[in-house]
């Protein structure tokens, strides 16, 4: 896993090449909505892109993480099937519903049943390198979603420039990122991490939580600001230093959100002695996103080291899939 995290900038570079070289067969058209369906490491990129396109796309972008597709999908829908393995049973079920609805479908996968179905139905299918844990391939899937949206004129192409800048940033900051990550992991070990972020970076916060779960083998939770100020903040009542708060921040967070973060810190510090702030580096949204992803991925693998756990191992998920296969 450490090597996969180290190679993240290389993955982003390869993702640009894959996207630039793919030739779509689906004709351009106007859509009423866009739905990305995918789970876990295959779906998290959709959550992050949902934050990105919130104020950019003129039609709804919905992320689906279930067996069932929204009832509104139709021939006027663009459906993006994201399954790294190509064998995710929930995603395959949702894909069949999208086919039945005659939606325009684009698949992003390394193979499996999704690729087989795409070939049979003559669907667009962007293939990414196989043989890795899905959570370690978020760069592959996310960048291909952006190219898909670009093909259908749903987003502009300046993301390429931003991703290239992100690659340079991550390479330049590699040593400092790992140093920060080690220090943060030491603060989180033996505690329950609680991740807070501005709502437009919720996808990144979810990614961090999932990486702590899968790589670090720890439970944690996340929430976003301002929503948590209307509920979770009231839950901070009992002093418990086994809770460790991490706040993901950027210098361009909305000013009222930044003020809320500062007030939150005043409240929360009464109940835990562990509050860590991570400020993203970079100028663009994507530079900040990939900086957060890379740094927090390192935190998760260092937590695995401190736990003396194999960051790659997910035996309980394998057990779940085996049990499901019996039915």
Q: Do 296 and 211 contact (CB within 8 A), yes or no?
A: yes
Q: Which of 157, 187, 210 is the last residue of a domain?
A: 157
Q: State yes or no: is 173 an active-site residue.
A: no
Q: Do 143 and 16 contact (CB within 8 A), yes or no?
A: yes
Identified catalytic residue from 214, 217, 222, 287:
214
pLDDT digits (tens, 9 = 90+) for 8-41: 999 999 999 999 999 999 989 999 999 999 999 8
Are residues 151 and 168 located together in one domain of the fold?
A: no
Q: State yes or no: is 113 an active-site residue.
A: no
Number of domains composing the chain: 2
Asked if the structure places residue 79 within a domain, the reply is yes
The domain in which residue 229 lies consists of: 163-307
Q: Do 224 and 264 contact (CB within 8 A), yes or no?
A: no
Identified catalytic residue from 175, 230, 315, 326:
230
Q: Do 83 and 46 contact (CB within 8 A), yes or no?
A: no
Are residues 148 and 169 located together in one domain of the fold?
A: no
Give CA–CA dist 246/123, Å, rounded. Answer: 42
Q: Is 22 strand, coil or helix?
A: coil
Asked if the structure places residue 60 within a domain, the reply is yes
Asked if the structure places residue 325 within a domain, the reply is no
**Farthest CA pair distance, the chain:** 60
Give CA–CA dist 200/253, Å, rounded. Answer: 9
Give CA–CA dist 17/32, Å, rounded. Answer: 29
pLDDT for the residue 188: 97
Instruction: Show Cβ contacts of residue 161 under 8 Å, excluding neighbours closer than 6 positions.
Output: none
Q: Please state the length of the chain.
A: 327
**Burial of 219 (C-beta count, 10 Å sphere; 0-12/13-18/19+):** exposed
Are residues 184 and 150 located together in one domain of the fold?
A: no
Q: What CATH number is given to the structural domain containing 296?
A: 3.40.50.10490
Q: At residue 239, what are phi and psi to the nearest 5 degrees?
A: -70, 125
pLDDT digits (tens, 9 = 90+) for 246-285: 999 999 999 999 999 999 999 999 999 999 999 999 999 9
pLDDT digits (tens, 9 = 90+) for 59-90: 999 999 999 999 999 999 999 999 999 999 99
Identified catalytic residue from 28, 119, 239, 321:
321
Q: State yes or no: is 321 an active-site residue.
A: yes
* 97-113: average pLDDT: 97
Inter-CA distances, 250 with 54, 90, 180, 288, Å: 18, 35, 16, 8
* 176-201: average pLDDT: 97
Asked if the structure places residue 122 within a domain, the reply is yes
């Amino acid at each position: 896993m450490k090597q996969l995290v180290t190679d993240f900038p290389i993955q982003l570079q390869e993702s640009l090449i894959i996207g630039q070289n793919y030739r779509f067969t689906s004709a351009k058209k106007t859509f009423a909505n866009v739905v990305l369906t995918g789970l876990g490491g295959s779906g998290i990129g959709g959550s992050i892109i949902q934050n990105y396109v919130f104020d950019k796309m003129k039609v709804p972008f919905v992320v689906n993480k279930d067996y069932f597709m929204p009832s509104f999908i139709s021939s006027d829908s663009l459906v993006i099937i994201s399954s790294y393995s190509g064998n995710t049973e929930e995603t395959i079920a949702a894909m069949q519903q999208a086919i039945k609805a005659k939606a325009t479908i684009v698949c992003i996968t390394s193979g499996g049943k999704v690729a087989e179905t795409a070939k049979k139905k003559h669907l667009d299918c962007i293939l990414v390198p196989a043989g890795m844990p899905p959570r370690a391939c978020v760069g592959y899937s996310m960048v291909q979603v952006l190219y898909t949206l670009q093909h259908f004129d749903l987003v502009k192409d300046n993301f390429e420039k931003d991703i290239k800048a992100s690659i340079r940033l991550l390479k330049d900051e590699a040593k400092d990122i790992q140093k920060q990550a080690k220090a943060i992991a030491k603060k989180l070990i033996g505690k329950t991490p609680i991740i807070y972020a501005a709502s437009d970076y919720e996808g990144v916060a979810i990614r961090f939580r999932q990486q702590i779960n899968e790589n670090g083998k720890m439970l944690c939770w996340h929430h976003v600001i301002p929503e948590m100020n209307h509920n979770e903040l009231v839950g901070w009542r009992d002093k418990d230093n086994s809770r460790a708060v991490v706040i993901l921040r950027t210098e361009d967070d909305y000013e009222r959100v930044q003020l809320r973060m500062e007030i939150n810190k005043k409240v929360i510090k009464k109940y835990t002695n562990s509050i860590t702030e991570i400020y993203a580096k970079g100028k663009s949204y994507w530079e900040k996103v990939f900086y957060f992803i890379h740094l927090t991925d390192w935190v998760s693998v260092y937590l695995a080291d401190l736990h003396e756990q194999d960051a790659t191992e997910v035996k309980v998920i394998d057990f779940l899939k085996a049990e499901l296969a019996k039915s």
